[in-house]
Amino acid sequence: MTQLGFWIALIATVVFAGCARTPWNDPYPASDRAANILYTAFQERPKHLDPAVSYSSNEVILTGQIYEPPLQYSYLARPYRLEPLTAERVPRPHYLDRQGRPLPSDAPDAQVAYSVYYIHIKPGIRYQPHPAFARDAAGHFLYQHLTPAQLARIHRLSDFPETGTKELTAADYVYEIKRLASPTLDSPILGLMSQHIVGLAQYAKRLAAAYARAPHAFLDLRRYPLTGAKTIDRYTYRIELYGKYPQFKYWLAMPFFAPVPWAVDHFYAQPGMANRNLTLDWFPVGTGPYMLTVNDPNRRMVLVRNPNFHWETYPIQGAPGDAKAGLLKDAGRRLPFVDKVVFSLEKEQIPYWNKFLQGYYDASGIGPDNFDQAIRVGANGEAGLTPAMRKRGIRLQKSVQTSIMYMGFNMLDPVVGGYSQRARDLRQAISIAINYEAYIAIFLNGRGIPAQGPIPPGIFGHVSGPQGIDPYVYDWADGRAQRKPIAEARRLLAEAGYPGGRDAKTGKPLLLYLDTVATGPSDAARLDWLRAQFRKLDIQLVVRATDYNRFQDKMRKGHDQIFEWGWNADYPDPENFLFLLYGPNREVGKNGENAANYENPEYDRLFEAMRDMDDTPARQAIIDRMVRIAQRDAPWVWGFYPVQYTLYHSWYHNAKLNLMANNTLKYLRIDPRARERARDRWNRPRIWPLGVLAGLLVAGILPVAVSYRRKERRVARPSEREGQA
Amino acid sequence: MPLSFSFWGHAWSVEWVVLWTDALLYVLIVAAVLLALYIRRHPPLQRPWSRVVRSPMAMGAAVILAAYAAIGLLDSVHVRLPIAPVKGSTVRYYSPELLSVFDLIAGPLRTHTEYSYSAPFATRLYTQETVRLPDGQTRREYPRLKYGGAGLKSAAELGGDVCARVARALAEAGAAWLVAAAALTWRLARRHRCAVWQMALRCLRGDTQVPWRTIGLTFGVVLALGWSAGALCTHYHILGTDEVGRDVFYLSLKSVRTGLVIGTVTTLVMLPFALALGISAGYFRGWVDDVVQYVYTTLNSIPGVLLIAAAVLILQSYMDRHAGLYDTVAARADMRLLFLCLILGITSWTGLCRLLRGETLKLCEADYIQAARAFGVGHGRIITRHILPNVMHIVLISVVLDFSSLVLAEAVLSYVGVGVDPSTISWGNMINSARLEMARQPAVWWPLASAFIFMFALVLSANLFADVVREALDPRTKGRGGER
Amino acid sequence: MSAYILRRILYAIPILIGVNLLTFTLFFVVNSPDDMARAHLGTKYVTPAMIQAWKREHGYDKPLLYNSSAPGLGRVTDTIFFTQSVDMFAFRFGRSDDGRDIGRDIRARMGPSLEIQLPVFVIGLATNITFALLTVFFRATYLDLAGTVLSVALMSISGLFYIIAGQYLFAIVLRLVPISGYAGGVESFKFVALPVAIGVVAGVGSGTRWYRTLFLEESGKDYVRTARAKGLSEAQVLFRHVLRNGMIPILTGAVVVIPTLFMGSLIMESFFGIPGLGSYTIDAIQSQDFGIVRAMVFLGSVLYIVGLLLTDLSYTLFDPRVRF
């Protein structure tokens, strides 16, 4: 009887729970249900959160919210525009000649030996609470001289009972610039910045020597002055560069140039801290709107509102159309809006997408596999949401990314490389044959724009319309760019000496090699497609898939032939794309980013002229000439510019894609009540199949039980036992 | 080597290419045939096998396995087709694309690729495409397939056409089956010296030592399925198409070879090591035993996935350094497959080695071996004459038992990313991409379902067969042969 | 007894050295210190000087196995292999390429791994034994045949399929559990339930078959026949004699698995986003993090050897005839 009671109770619980409104599949604690929390995910554990080191996009999404460099990109304005963040204003360079005498701002490039930036920061900005700043009543640091006994009780940062704060000063910015040269940090931009910041290269050598003398001592960078970065007063510092480098201002909006106070560096450098995973790489300290409170790279990271965050308000003005899109509703209100941001580890796209549909993530991209579920392309080719998405109140935003995905030829290769007419013909023929329109349709569901040159839309120098097309690959007809027919490619191939894909002299079939790191299952389909493109010219494409290390090694040594590569803009300037084809920047021998090892003296000369110009029609003219040269030489099959589609739930406000800014979380606002209601509505568990399952189980047990009874009775009789043995 | 023969009315001159795994498969077949002949000649060895032959379960499974083996073997004879010579040149060049005899037979199946996904028996694509109308407007629609149901005027005819084709195929298959069955009955009747109709009756009643009724039935089912599929697959994608429009039925059949190679070649390459080390450890004892035990304990204690991952990476870096050696995709993929077999062999031989060592230790205590030793018979002779035949059953049991787990392991390794080459068609790669396909709305279920069915049929019959073999061969189970 | 254990432990040392050497060789054949530096430093703007600096900083600028320039014993000890192996034996796993203490990560990730593996092991064992006993009880009937065919069918299905189908059905269609993720404490139940269920189901086929043969062997022995002859019911025979004696090989066979439960399940963890040691290993292989991979290999080997030791000990516990 008691057993029966137990079962009744169990069933009642299950049924009751089934009727209850709270979903079973909520991956978050019940206590957070109605909280003002933004939910998002990270795919790979960030490796570095130290501003001098972190570079990848998955790290910047965190460091961008925590650290504040002097400048930021305006959230709403387009084209992208810099605005002051902690600085009073965007600095203008002062030019000096070789002797250090000031020059007028329109001085010719040849005379400019140095440019100097004076950066004034706003007073009164304070850091997040942190034990590194904690002081006792007498004003002495509490945790800057930790003894092993003190450390014994410390396992997490929160184990330090006291925290403190400090005002942001110019010295903190200078300290960080010096950290770029630190021998223990390996900053990825040290090589590049050494070419620009005065004395940084020598500084790195000095630090390395000092480090070699005393490897275990704390390297106090305050004691080593750097010519190129100096403190002028408490709120002003100056940066001195070699020659002109107009792109430098963009670097001032990246976390590399965020402030790091000496106290923080020293705090983490104490012995025993690193053994506890307490490093600046894992627990950043900044003045930004959020601070990192939980850093469990195996599971989740949590950003919590910084109580000391300075006064900053939502922008009052936006780009045209922003007001209509509801982006100015919060104009003038204090930032940030969201109390807490939770990043959960989500390695796979499928669970992310499904959790998004269940309301457990607030925004999502669209994978190729979910595309048809989310997007319906209308009669005029315009992509819109499916009714199912619209019913859930989901909104869609599209934006062309400032990136390019291309296929490069190694210009040092004897077959596809070189600058003879023959080699050019071959490359142009291939450029025509690879139908990127089809590629975009099949593999990207139309989320891409076939590229005509190295510069994506949204960057100065990009030309659209009939003037912008690559005349060697496309024709302008019927008001749109049309890929040249395959017959044209075959003709070019014949002229290149390979009629019908065979060497005209020997008759040997032409074999080309593609080097790629793509080895996943979806890549197989893609590579198959690519082989088919080459087969249109009767060229056999052999795919050499390798791991990433080997691929890089091959690229560095120039052992590659055709490769797939991409580039993401560091800043919105054409220089950041055109330098990918600049000869002195080639990969082989120079370790540069010019992976195709393209080298054209005319192009290089124009590049040097264009590099330091402002965005004027003259600059446009030079860029046009450069692009035309590259189109003719065809060192890349231009590939495509990806277009990003992002979906937002109805409770997610102020979302505007900003591909340059990385500190955008502070502008976002969510409506937790609406979210809670939607989650409850969308996630009612379906229980009846469990009942069916239980029924089946009983149905399965019943005959077993019956036959058990029967057998048991039979066994008891000895005559049959004989028969069994 | 160039060969010339005539096929489908064309005189073709092709170049015969033997891949490494092909060669090993051939070796395996020769070895199996030799072993079978050897066992036939020795009645004591033959006795347990006759038990296998009499088991309906084993023979039913064997028919299915034979069907798989046939596909796998056809797919293991590789050729290169010539490409039309350039005018004025007499040198004949062969396409770098490697085709198997199976590919040639399945001709249209391989070349009938669509644009993208299409469901089984669909006449239209599964996804919408933007179509440009003559007036310059564009529209999104589900385009007609290029090959799937191309002969149909409208989708309404689909059911009727499929039924008609299946009916004809079944009739043909039935006729073929009858001919085969008649021939067999006639032969059996001659052997048993009885009338043909009596023999037929005995077969139908199941009153034969060899379960001909089961064999005939399974064969009939396989024949009917195969024949219908063959009749339909040239006009429809009977299992749909994948992301780039390849026929899933073709992919599933091509995967058979990969599965078979992993399942069999792996054991082939590990066998010599396991035999040599296991027997010598048990026979010589002392330091040999210590060394062998040390080696297999060490290897055994390393997580297998890591060992395989490292090995696959090594192979890749080797092939990159010697790119000239592997000029075709197929050769590279084959090398990786072979290497995977090798490394799987290394990680799995330890179990067999341990068993062999134990058995040899036991055998060495036996009187006749002690006696042979006392008479000063050489070690080599004792091992080959007395020990080897007596541990053979262990080897065979572990070979048949390992087969299915190896086929399953391939899928898992492909998921981890250290399996076969991504360009190799395998069930693992199919299941792997199916993860994404299942997440689509509506889900693309047919590649997963096809891989599942084909793999399940193979592994299930292999398991059933292995079961019977083990019961028949294992001396420990002899006492309870009728337990099932 | 203690001498025996000591001997076994000493015997483990050369095996661990062998494991270390083997993984070390395998790893550096594909992955030179230069490669590691590059993977670590990222793709943009990397100079050779930075690579040298990184190698010096992380101790990879020494020769791999033999240092011909060092004096005396330093030729062997002043190498990457030696310095790294010595720490390993002291269970100091050092830091991963991203600068985290590996030992700490391993300790933190053991819990979630165990939370899946332990229930799978215990529930799986219980289920398998139950089914096996049932099939033995009904042996030579149609139920037995059905059970055998069913278990063969179950073990012929790829584990991946169980996971894909299970996740699709219970998490996406029925919305009974979260699709993936993990939380500590009581909350973890809803994340762990589905992986555990799948783990049990996936193992039921082979487990049942294996135990069935063990029980069959046992029930064919003379003492069981005697028991039957005494007139005990079949159920009594099975539970009193067959199960009790059959448990010895089952438990000794299971003991070797227990320590390796710590290592987690590679596939399951990465499918369900469980932050355990299995997904840790997979990530490390994919990002080629030498430190982590070596630590995991070492740990795996140690646990395996502990398992062997426990097996030997359990023989002495369960089987009074065995004495050392």
Give the nearest chain B residue to A499 (CA atoms): B86
Distance CA C3, CA A364 (A): 62
**Given CB atoms, is A493 within the 8 Å cutoff of chain B?**
no
Contact residues, B window 337-396, toward C, CB-based 8 Å cutoff: none
Within a domain: residue C99? no
A277 contacts C53? CB cut-off 8 A: no
Within a domain: residue C25? yes
**Which range, A300-314, B372-386, C9-23, C129-143, has the best average confidence (pLDDT)?**
A300-314
* pLDDT recorded at residue A11: 54
Shortest CB distance from C178 goes to which of A27, A48, A553?
A: A27
- Contacting chains of C (3 CB pairs or more, <8 Å) are A, B
Distance CA A456, CA A577 (A): 9
C60 and C129 belong to one structural domain: no
C19 contacts B476? CB cut-off 8 A: no
- Is the pLDDT score of C240 beyond 80? no
* pLDDT recorded at residue B196: 83
Q: What is the mean pLDDT of residues B67-89?
A: 81
Within a domain: residue C143? yes
pLDDT band of B483, cuts 50, 70, 90: very low
C187 and C63 belong to one structural domain: no
Distance CA A713, CA A707 (A): 10
B294 contacts C18? CB cut-off 8 A: yes
Q: What is the mean pLDDT of residues B19-37?
A: 89
What amino acid is encoded at B90 in this protein? Answer: T
Please say whether the beta carbons of A454 and A578 come within 8 A.
yes
Please report residues of C whose CB lies closer than 8 A to that of A712. 233-235
Q: What is the mean pLDDT of residues C114-137?
A: 90
* B·C CB contacts under 8 A: 116
Q: What is the mean pLDDT of residues B326-348?
A: 80
Q: For residue B79, give the H/E element and its range.
A: strand B78-83
B427-468: per-residue pLDDT in tens? 888 887 777 777 676 778 899 889 889 988 998 888 888 888
End-to-end CA distance of chain A: 40
SS (H, E, C) A120-169: EECCCCECCCEHHHCECCCCCECCCCCCHHHHHCCCCHHHCCCCECCECC
Q: What is the mean pLDDT of residues C81-99?
A: 77
* pLDDT recorded at residue C108: 86
Distance from CA of A374 to the nearest CA of B (A): 9
C114 and C204 belong to one structural domain: yes
Please say whether the beta carbons of A167 and A125 come within 8 A.
yes
Residues 6+ apart with CB under 8 A from A415: A426, A510, A512, A561
* pLDDT recorded at residue B8: 45
* pLDDT recorded at residue A490: 93
Shortest CB distance from A689 goes to which of C31, C174, C271?
A: C174
- Distinct helix (H) and strand (E) counts, chain B: 17, 6
* A·B CB contacts under 8 A: 117
C65 and C18 belong to one structural domain: yes
A23 contacts C179? CB cut-off 8 A: no
Q: Pick the closest to residue A575 from A114, A117, A249, A103 (CA basis).
A: A249
- Contacting chains of A (3 CB pairs or more, <8 Å) are B, C
C116 and C201 belong to one structural domain: yes
What amino acid is encoded at B353 in this protein? Answer: C
Among the residue ranges A557-571, A659-673, C23-37, C237-251, the one predicted with the least confidence is: C23-37
* End-of-domain residue from the set C90, C119, C144: C90
C119 and C264 belong to one structural domain: yes
Per the prediction, chain B carries an average pLDDT of 82
User: Which residue is it, tokens 């390429």?
Assistant: C97
Shortest CB distance from C30 goes to which of B297, B310, B427?
A: B310
- How many C-beta atoms surround the C-beta of residue A302 within 10 A? 17
* pLDDT recorded at residue B6: 42
pLDDT band of C313, cuts 50, 70, 90: confident
C310 and C221 belong to one structural domain: yes
- According to DSSP, residue A420 is labeled S
Within a domain: residue C154? yes
* End-of-domain residue from the set C64, C90, C116: C90
C45 and C158 belong to one structural domain: no
* pLDDT recorded at residue A410: 94
Distance from CA of B272 to the nearest CA of A (A): 32
Q: Pick the closest to residue A357 from A376, A338, A370, A341 (CA basis).
A: A370
Contact residues, A window 522-551, toward C, CB-based 8 Å cutoff: 547-549
Within a domain: residue C308? yes
Distance from CA of B119 to the nearest CA of A (A): 15
- Is the pLDDT score of C43 beyond 60? no
Residue with the bigger pLDDT between C74 and C56: it is C56
Q: What is the mean pLDDT of residues B380-390?
A: 83
Q: Pick the closest to residue B111 from A502, A542, A535 (CA basis).
A: A535
Report the percent of chain C where pLDDT is more than 70.
91
- Is the pLDDT score of B7 beyond 50? no
Cα angle B24, B28, B29; round to 5: 120
Interface test with B, best of A349, A353, A357, A442 (most B CBs within 10 A): A442
* pLDDT recorded at residue A473: 93
Contact residues, B window 304-333, toward A, CB-based 8 Å cutoff: 313, 316-317, 320, 323, 327-329, 332
> What's the length of chain B?
484
Q: Pick the closest to residue A570 from B246, C42, C159, B437 (CA basis).
A: C42
Please say whether the beta carbons of A267 and A131 come within 8 A.
yes
Distance CA B73, CA B100 (A): 9
What amino acid is encoded at A78 in this protein? Answer: R
CA distances from B296 to B350, C19, C299 (A): 5, 11, 18
Within a domain: residue C100? no
Stretches where chain A sits below pLDDT 50 are: 1-4, 6, 16, 18-19, 718-725
Distance from CA of A28 to the nearest CA of B (A): 22
Within a domain: residue C98? no
Which structure tokens are listed for A537? 């010219």
* pLDDT recorded at residue A433: 94
Distance from CA of C75 to the nearest CA of B (A): 26
Shortest CB distance from B313 goes to which of C30, C159, C216?
A: C30
* Neighbour-count burial of A326, counting CB atoms closer than 10 A to its CB (0-12 exposed, 13-18 middle, 19+ buried): exposed
C214 and C318 belong to one structural domain: yes
- Bridge partners (DSSP) listed for residue A296: A300
SS (H, E, C) A217-253: CCCCHHHCCECCEEEEECCEEEEEEECCCCCHHHHCC
Distance CA B81, CA A94 (A): 71
Contact residues, B window 403-432, toward C, CB-based 8 Å cutoff: 404, 408, 411-412, 415-418, 427, 431-432
Distance CA B415, CA A521 (A): 9
Shortest CB distance from B313 goes to which of A370, A513, A547?
A: A547
C166 and C261 belong to one structural domain: yes
C149 and C25 belong to one structural domain: no
Distance CA A335, CA A331 (A): 10
Residue with the bigger pLDDT between C283 and A241: it is A241
Q: For residue B472, give the H/E element and its range.
A: helix B446-473
- Is the pLDDT score of B33 beyond 80? yes
* End-of-domain residue from the set C29, C58, C90: C90
A91-136: per-residue pLDDT in tens? 999 999 999 899 988 788 788 899 999 999 999 999 999 999 999 9
- Is the pLDDT score of B322 beyond 80? no
Q: What is the mean pLDDT of residues B216-239?
A: 89
Q: What is the CATH number of the domain that holds C218?
A: 1.10.3720.10
A548 contacts C138? CB cut-off 8 A: no
Structural domains counted in chain C: 2
Domains of chain B are 14-111 (no CATH), 161-233 (no CATH), 253-473 (1.10.3720.10)
**Given CB atoms, is B159 within the 8 Å cutoff of chain A?**
no
Within a domain: residue C217? yes
CA distances from B80 to B15, B73, B77 (A): 5, 17, 10
C146 and C292 belong to one structural domain: yes
B441 contacts A523? CB cut-off 8 A: no
- What range defines the domain where residue C263 resides? 106-323
